[in-house]
Structure 1
């Protein structure tokens, strides 16, 4: 008996903007080493070294509507580029997290607005891993903690800290008294630094990937730094 492939169509992502990311060539989505992807229940985000494209396929979305393009401010002196990408979901709030080759964590809204910028550690961010609940293509995920993977260190951010920061951002940007644009260079300090834990794992070799499987840190990792948010 022939095997059956049970597949569910999520949506169509065809658009002219994909040409910038190599669309049109055979195997462009899986064979390009510089192309990063992050899949969400409502959208897909694709990134090359300097640009992120967000394509929405949720019900009621207009396929002809302009796509959201994010162009982070990257350091030309350091030849900085986008090195990691992942969705963060907190109840009905969704944001996009980017990691750069200089160790910065950037958080953007669905409209492409920079919400937060923070240095994690000097060096390239290799992966952004999220541990959450209801991780399924048919359900939204509640992000419990975020793991930032670098070659020599691993950082852990608590999801509740990021969620609290996003609530402050949402309240401030939607306040009737908010009538001026923010300076992107001041974003890192406007809501305070996010607290995180940092483990030095360089003595075990170069780290290519990692994942947090519980609340307590793995016992083999050496706790190096705990950074707390500054008091406002």
Structure 2
């Protein structure tokens, strides 16, 4: 019987720009702990401590065309570096979110324009996680929430807030600069601050990873109310898994 191949070739990401990230050496993508990756439907983002390379393999894309390089403005005094990368997708809007070692959340367009920069909490952002949620059990609509994981802390951004900010930014960009490329340094919506909730989850020690897994009902012995509880799961540096109930009124609104 012929051997079956269950893999499908998506495209090639080979290019000279990868040499800046260490390509050409054996095991360069697996053995380098400083490399971060984020996979989207038609794109791959690869980052080291100072630069992000966006590779596209969608239909009709030119494999020899220019690649998008994102070089965030990082603080040399604080030795700031890129510590996490994740794609954010809202309908037809696709952007790239970066977390830094100083606790900043950066959002970039696919052209490399800085859309948003905001401090979440002092400290290194370990992970950026996106979770789809149902808005209503009776409606076939969905939203998303973004979880920012830091040592001993988790933050939650409502996806609808980010989506509204992105829609305004793209509308303003199209109307004001439709015939010219914006300067990535000056194009950030730094005057807009996204609201978010922040919880302390270091009761059992600092966490190496975490995620907000969803909404949970109140305890059986408590009166039923409209108050909302979130469930968070953390993994400590000692590999201990802990679960937390995050009360809606216990967070720090930032």
Q: Taking structure 1 as the reference length, what is the TM-score of the superposition? A: 0.86
**1:32 is matched with which residue?**
32
How far, CA to CA, are the matches of 1:225 and 1:78 in structure 2? 25
1:224 aligns with 2:248: no
Structure 1's 5 and 176: CA in aligned 2 closer, same or farther, altered over 3 A? same
Higher helix share: 1
Structure 2 CA distance for aligned equivalents of residues 86 and 153 of structure 1: 18
Tell me the CA shift for residue 212 of structure 1.
2.1
- In the superposition, relative to structure 1, how do residues 187 and 31 fare at CA in structure 2: closer, same or farther (>3 Å)? same
Matched, 1:99 2:99: yes
Q: Indicate yes or no: 2:18 matched with 1:18.
A: yes
**Unmatched segments (≥5 aa) in structure 2:** 134-141, 216-228, 232-243
RMSD: 2.3
Higher relative contact order (CA 8 A, sep 6+): 1
Between the aligned partners of 1:83 and 1:125, the Cα distance in structure 2 is 6
Structure 1 segment 41-60 matched on structure 2, within 5 A = 41-60=41-60
Aligned CA distance change for structure 1 residues 63 and 181 (closer, same or farther; 3 Å): closer
Bigger Rg over Cα: 2
Residue in 2 that maps onto 1:139: none
Of 161, 172, 190, 1:188 maps to 190
Whole-angstrom distance in 2 between the partners of 1:129 and 1:110: 19
Deviation at 1:224, TM superposition (A): 3.3
Report the Cα distance in structure 2 between the residues aligned to 1:36 and 1:5, rounded to whole angstroms. 28
Query: CA 1:76/1:115 → structure 2, altered by over 3 Å: closer, same or farther?
Result: same
Aligned match of 2:209: 209
1:67 paired with 2:92, answer no
* CA distance 1:185–1:113, shift in 2 (3 Å): closer
SS at match of 1:164: helix
Structure 1 runs not aligned, ≥5 long: 134-141, 228-232
Spell out, residue by residue over 1:154-193, the C-alpha distance to the aligned partner (whole angstroms, 9 max, x if none). Answer: 001111110000011011111148888586496321xx21
- In the TM superposition, structure 1's runs of 4+ consecutive aligned residues that sit over 6 Å from their partners are 177-180
Residues 31 and 155 of structure 1: is their aligned pair in 2 closer, same or farther, counting only changes over 3 Å? same
Higher strand share: 2
**Could you tell me which residue of structure 2 aligns to residue 173 of structure 1?**
173
Secondary structure of residue in 1 paired with 2:209: coil
Indicate if the aligned counterparts of 1:201 and 1:221 stay in contact, CA closer than 8 A: no
Separation of aligned partners in 2, 1:45 and 1:182: 18
